[in-house]
């Protein structure tokens, strides 16, 4: 997209106000006052756009788009597929979703459709094509937003047939499938593809490779549905970019598989602010932003966020003054080119009537929320030169959706909790404390751009990651891997001959056994003479991998149990690179000390080793400038010197004191120095 300003706006469900033209008119004035330059229209609008089958009512939308355009407000236009009109469900019951227990849903809710149903596909294609014909070249319309927060699965007969076809394409013969899934166990082998059914609580749930392939199929089928909608848009003549809005830590779909379908990523961010310390919530949100940005490695859009409290979290806490600004600028810091809200105007009825909005039921501009929204809009204008800039990261975390699916589904060493995301977040937190940008990769990505790659609990090795890692380390990369890595192949068959599969020589060790700990248990990693940090012992919980080393040197060893004295953390040299293998689920301090050491060794940080608690530093850059965001998510003001005197201040002033929730944006020229 060719943007010169940050996109600032959000979902505007105008169809709810068509009988109140004064309100619609006034809203536009309010938008302008708040510096809003965009609205997203059409999400869930199907019944207003096509009140009866084949009868299209687009005039209201056209008038609105014209009016917005006349006022300098652009439009992201959504296709209406995420909720369907009653007539469609009544006329064609096949469009309603079938659950895993094989019961068909009644009409209602949203995301309640079969994405395989030929009728559903035909109907959505018709309306999408018409929307594209009518609005695809309208100068106000910049982007297509396909459906909304795609999610869920359908187990109807169409979906079963599509799944069987998908399997046949993948495995060619049923013998191949039986072998890949190890179906001979419990006599579950199939004689032909038509016998295979999707996982069900009434039937097969424990064949992990079936579950895994079903998840892959659901992703592919959902992507196919998006491709179908995109095709209709293109047939209607529009060449505008398309996106889908993704969700927080959503594992129902492998979002990476959408990357060739969309022009940019967008996502909806609803953190539960003020429940725990804001700095924790901020870290969690930062990770999600980085995950989203890393999918296409370019700026994304924050498609939705809430101006104040949502109405669906267990407690609808108001955003404290300043939180909206901090959260919005955090998205920008991590690579967003927009701040958008759900919603511009609050509904009067139905399920989201109490959800926070830019314009609430009172309907005036003299509200705290409106004032804060306006301030954010004005800040975005002040830093608009950042639009389109990149994020450069020298460190990355491998966080693979398919591996996570398999690991979390397996009956394994710790069915009461693997603490996978906790482990990922400990690494992430440690890197962020060093002020580093972090990319979040999956196994299909290249590793060559990074100085250090972290691979926490990489249970499944797929798509040749063994070879990629070997080459990466050989050529000078640093790899940090943990216990429970390289255990299974792509169809969840355990690797024979020792793990981590095909990396034992690279890591200089073999994992022999994995001990799981009860919640109340812990052990310690005790420093050997080779260990560098001041702290000499670290607590560990949940998992203790018992390894035998070959070439690796021991940096920490277990303190107790029958494996006292066994290595708990080791380092190995391979080719020009180094590997570290973490045997146990260590406390945060361990990761902090490790990352500090690695970052120093690789000289990755130009200005600061270790940030004050609560401070986040993030950078974006163009060919000519680097932008440094310094944000305080702590509850205390923090004294901090300008990290580097070659930076000047773009937003927020600098007096060495950063108030809670405050953000400073600095800029430095990169050329001509």
Q: Which residues are catalytic?
A: 149, 304
Letters for 292-321 (x = contact with ligand GAL by CB under 6 A, - = none) are ------------x-----x-x---------
Site for ligand GAL, residues 590 to 609, rule: CB under 6 A:
none
Task: By CB under 5 A, tell whether 156 contacts Zn ion.
Answer: yes
- Least Cβ distance, residue 97 to ligand GAL (angstroms): 18
- Least Cβ distance, residue 284 to Zn ion (angstroms): 34
* 469 binds, options Zn ion, ligand GAL, none, Cβ within 5 to 8 A by partner type: none
Preceding amide of 198 cis, omega within 30 = no
Q: Provide the CA 63 distance to its chain's centre, in angstroms.
A: 36
Tokens 């917005």, residue? 68
CA atoms within 13 A on the CB side of 546: 13
Residues 511, 549: Cα–Cα separation, whole Å:
9
Sheet of 663-669: strand order equals 615-621, 625-632, 663-669, 648-651
* 663 binds, options ligand GAL, Zn ion, none, Cβ within 5 to 8 A by partner type: none
* 268 binds, options ligand GAL, Zn ion, none, Cβ within 5 to 8 A by partner type: ligand GAL
Residue 493 DSSP code: P
State the residue number with the nearest CB to ligand GAL.
342
Task: By CB under 6 A, tell whether 148 contacts ligand GAL.
Answer: yes
Single out the residue of 46, 135, 171, 342 in contact with ligand GAL (rule: CB under 6 A). 342
Angle subtended at Cα 419 by Cα 417 and Cα 421, rounded to the nearest 5 degrees: 135
* 310 binds, options ligand GAL, Zn ion, none, Cβ within 5 to 8 A by partner type: ligand GAL
Q: Which stretch binds Zn ion (CB under 5 A): 52-60, 150-158, 172-180, 569-577?
A: 150-158
Residues 529, 536: Cα–Cα separation, whole Å:
10
- Least Cβ distance, residue 247 to Zn ion (angstroms): 21
Residues 182, 58: Cα–Cα separation, whole Å:
54
* 154 binds, options ligand GAL, Zn ion, none, Cβ within 5 to 8 A by partner type: Zn ion
| Residue of 471, 568, 474 lying closest to 515 (CA atoms) | 568
* 355 binds, options Zn ion, ligand GAL, none, Cβ within 5 to 8 A by partner type: ligand GAL
Residues 343, 318: Cα–Cα separation, whole Å:
15
Nearest to ligand GAL of 43, 209 (CB atom):
43
Nearest to ligand GAL of 226, 430 (CB atom):
226
Q: Give the list of residues 6+ apart from residue 157 with CB closer than 8 angstroms, or none.
A: none
Contact status, residue 3 vs residue 332, Cβ threshold 8 Å: no
- Least Cβ distance, residue 232 to Zn ion (angstroms): 19
What does the block give as tokens for 644?
Answer: 């580097």
- Least Cβ distance, residue 193 to Zn ion (angstroms): 18
Tell the burial category of 341 from Cβ atoms under 10 Å away from its Cβ (0-12, 13-18, 19+).
Answer: buried
Question: Dihedral sign, CA of 538, 573, 431, 414?
Answer: negative
Nearest to ligand GAL of 268, 490 (CB atom):
268
DSSP secondary structure, 412-454, as one string = -S-TT---HHHHHHHHHHHHHHTT--EEEE-TTS--TT-SEEE
Tell the burial category of 598 from Cβ atoms under 10 Å away from its Cβ (0-12, 13-18, 19+).
Answer: buried
Nearest to ligand GAL of 6, 342 (CB atom):
342
Letters for 111-130 (x = contact with Zn ion by CB under 5 A, - = none) are ---x-x--------------
| Residue of 606, 603, 633, 610 lying closest to 619 (CA atoms) | 606
Contact status, residue 66 vs residue 28, Cβ threshold 8 Å: no
Q: Which stretch binds Zn ion (CB under 5 A): 106-114, 500-508, 513-521, 572-580?
A: 106-114
* 472 binds, options ligand GAL, Zn ion, none, Cβ within 5 to 8 A by partner type: none
Nearest to Zn ion of 135, 228 (CB atom):
228
* 116 binds, options ligand GAL, Zn ion, none, Cβ within 5 to 8 A by partner type: Zn ion
- Least Cβ distance, residue 153 to Zn ion (angstroms): 8
Question: Dihedral sign, CA of 484, 485, 489, 494?
Answer: negative
Query: Phi and psi at residue 90, in whole multiples of 5°?
Result: -70, -45
Task: By CB under 6 A, tell whether 268 contacts ligand GAL.
Answer: yes
Single out the residue of 58, 270, 354, 420 in contact with ligand GAL (rule: CB under 6 A). 270
Nearest to Zn ion of 156, 324 (CB atom):
156
What does the block give as tokens for 205?
Answer: 């749930």
Nearest to ligand GAL of 242, 396 (CB atom):
242
Residues 668, 650: Cα–Cα separation, whole Å:
10
Tokens 């990319």, residue? 439
Task: By CB under 5 A, tell whether 96 contacts Zn ion.
Answer: no
CB atoms near residue 381 (< 10 Å): 13
CB atoms near residue 589 (< 10 Å): 15
* 304 binds, options Zn ion, ligand GAL, none, Cβ within 5 to 8 A by partner type: ligand GAL
H and E: helices and strands count for the chain: 16, 26
- Least Cβ distance, residue 201 to Zn ion (angstroms): 17
Residues 629, 637: Cα–Cα separation, whole Å:
16
* 148 binds, options Zn ion, ligand GAL, none, Cβ within 5 to 8 A by partner type: ligand GAL
Tell the burial category of 315 from Cβ atoms under 10 Å away from its Cβ (0-12, 13-18, 19+).
Answer: exposed
Task: By CB under 6 A, tell whether 266 contacts ligand GAL.
Answer: no
- Least Cβ distance, residue 40 to ligand GAL (angstroms): 10
Single out the residue of 27, 38, 149, 616 in contact with ligand GAL (rule: CB under 6 A). 149
- Least Cβ distance, residue 158 to Zn ion (angstroms): 5
* 445 binds, options ligand GAL, Zn ion, none, Cβ within 5 to 8 A by partner type: none
Letters for 559-588 (x = contact with Zn ion by CB under 5 A, - = none) are ------------------------------
- Least Cβ distance, residue 122 to Zn ion (angstroms): 14
Q: Give the list of residues 6+ apart from residue 452 with CB closer than 8 angstroms, or none.
A: 394, 395, 396, 477, 478, 479, 480, 598, 602, 604
Single out the residue of 355, 433, 468, 664 in contact with ligand GAL (rule: CB under 6 A). 355
Nearest to ligand GAL of 148, 285 (CB atom):
148
- Least Cβ distance, residue 354 to ligand GAL (angstroms): 11
- Least Cβ distance, residue 395 to ligand GAL (angstroms): 31
Question: Dihedral sign, CA of 440, 443, 449, 454?
Answer: positive
Helix (H, G, I), strand (E, B) or coil at 483: coil
Single out the residue of 141, 159, 232, 615 in contact with Zn ion (rule: CB under 5 A). 159
Nearest to Zn ion of 167, 557 (CB atom):
167
Total residues contacting Zn ion by CB under 5 A comes to: 6
Alpha carbon separation from 326 to 222, 323, 421, 642, 668 (Å, rounded): 34, 5, 24, 19, 22
* 159 binds, options Zn ion, ligand GAL, none, Cβ within 5 to 8 A by partner type: Zn ion
Nearest to ligand GAL of 181, 267 (CB atom):
267
List residues near ligand GAL by CB under 6 A: 148-149, 268, 270, 304, 310, 312, 342, 352, 355
Q: Which residues bind Zn ion (CB under 5 A)?
A: 114, 116, 154, 156, 158-159
């Amino acid at each position: 997209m060719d943007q010169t300003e940050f996109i600032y706006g959000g979902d505007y469900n105008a169809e709810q106000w068509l009988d109140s033209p004064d309100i619609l008119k006034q809203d536009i004035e309010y938008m302008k006052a708040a510096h809003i330059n965009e609205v997203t229209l059409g999400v869930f609008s199907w019944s207003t756009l096509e009140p009866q089958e084949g009868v299209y009512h687009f005039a209201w939308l056209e008038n609105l788009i014209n009016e917005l355009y006349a006022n300098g407000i652009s439009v992201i236009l959504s296709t209406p597929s995420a909720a369907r009109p009653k007539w469609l469900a009544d006329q064609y019951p096949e469009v309603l979703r079938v659950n895993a227990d094989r019961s068909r849903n009644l009409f209602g809710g949203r995301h309640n459709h079969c994405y395989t149903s030929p009728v559903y596909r035909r109907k959505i294609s018709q309306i999408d094509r018409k929307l594209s014909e009518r609005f695809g070249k309208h100068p106000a319309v910049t982007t297509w937003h396909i459906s909304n927060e795609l999610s869920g699965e359908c187990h109807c007969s169409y979906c079963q047939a599509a799944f069987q076809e998908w399997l046949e394409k993948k495995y060619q013969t049923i013998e191949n499938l039986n072998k890949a899934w190890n179906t001979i166990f419990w006599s579950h082998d199939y004689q032909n593809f038509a016998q295979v059914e999707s996982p069900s609580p009434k039937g097969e749930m424990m064949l992990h490779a079936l579950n895994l392939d079903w998840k892959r199929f659901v992703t592919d089928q959902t992507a196919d549905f998006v491709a179908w909608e995109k095709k209709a848009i293109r047939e209607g003549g529009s060449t505008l970019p398309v996106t889908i809005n993704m969700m927080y830590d959503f594992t129902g779909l492998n979002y990476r598989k959408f990357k060739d379908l969309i022009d940019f990523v967008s996502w909806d961010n609803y953190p539960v602010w003020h429940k725990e310390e804001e700095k924790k919530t901020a870290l969690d949100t930062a990770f999600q932003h980085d995950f989203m940005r890393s999918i296409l490695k370019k700026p994304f859009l924050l498609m939705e966020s809430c101006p104040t409290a949502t109405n669906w979290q267990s407690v609808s806490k108001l955003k404290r003054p300043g939180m909206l600004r901090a959260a919005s600028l955090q998205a920008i810091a991590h690579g967003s080119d927009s701040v958008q809200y759900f919603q511009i105007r609050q509904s009067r009825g139905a399920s989201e009537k109490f959800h926070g909005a830019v314009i609430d039921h009172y309907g005036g501009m003299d509200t705290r929320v409106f004032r804060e929204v306006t301030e954010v809009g004005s800040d975005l204008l002040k830093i608009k030169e950042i639009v389109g800039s990149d994020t450069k990261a020298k460190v990355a975390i491998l966080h693979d959706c398919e591996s996570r699916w398999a690991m979390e589904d397996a009956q394994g060493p710790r069915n009461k909790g693997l603490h996978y995301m906790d482990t990922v977040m400990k690494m992430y937190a440690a890197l962020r404390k060093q002020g580093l940008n972090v990319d979040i990769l999956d196994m299909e990505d290249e590793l060559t751009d990074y100085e250090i790659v972290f691979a926490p609990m990489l249970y499944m090795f797929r798509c040749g990651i063994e070879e990629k890692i070997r080459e990466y380390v050989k050529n000078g990369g640093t790899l940090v891997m943990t216990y429970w890595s390289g255990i299974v192949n792509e169809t969840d068959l355990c690797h024979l001959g020792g793990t981590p599969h095909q990396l034992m020589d690279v890591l200089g060790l073999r994992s022999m056994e994995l001990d799981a700990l009860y919640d109340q248990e812990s052990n310690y990693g005790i420093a050997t003479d080779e260990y560098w940090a001041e702290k000499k012992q670290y607590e560990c919980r949940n998992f203790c991998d018992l390894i035998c080393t070959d070439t690796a040197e021991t940096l920490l060893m277990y303190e107790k149990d029958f494996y006292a004295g066994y290595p708990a953390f080791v380092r190995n040299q391979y080719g020009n690179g180094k590997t570290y293998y973490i045997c146990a689920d260590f406390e945060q301090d361990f990761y902090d000390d490790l990352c500090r050491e690695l970052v120093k060794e690789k000289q990755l940080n130009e200005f600061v080793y270790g940030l004050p608690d609560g401070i986040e530093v993030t950078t974006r850059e163009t060919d000519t400038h680097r932008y440094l965001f310094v944000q305080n998510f702590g509850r205390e003001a923090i004294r901090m010197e300008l990290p580097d005197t070659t930076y000047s201040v773009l937003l927020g002033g600098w007096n060495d004191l950063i108030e809670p929730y405050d953000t400073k944006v600095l800029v430095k020229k990169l050329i001509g120095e």
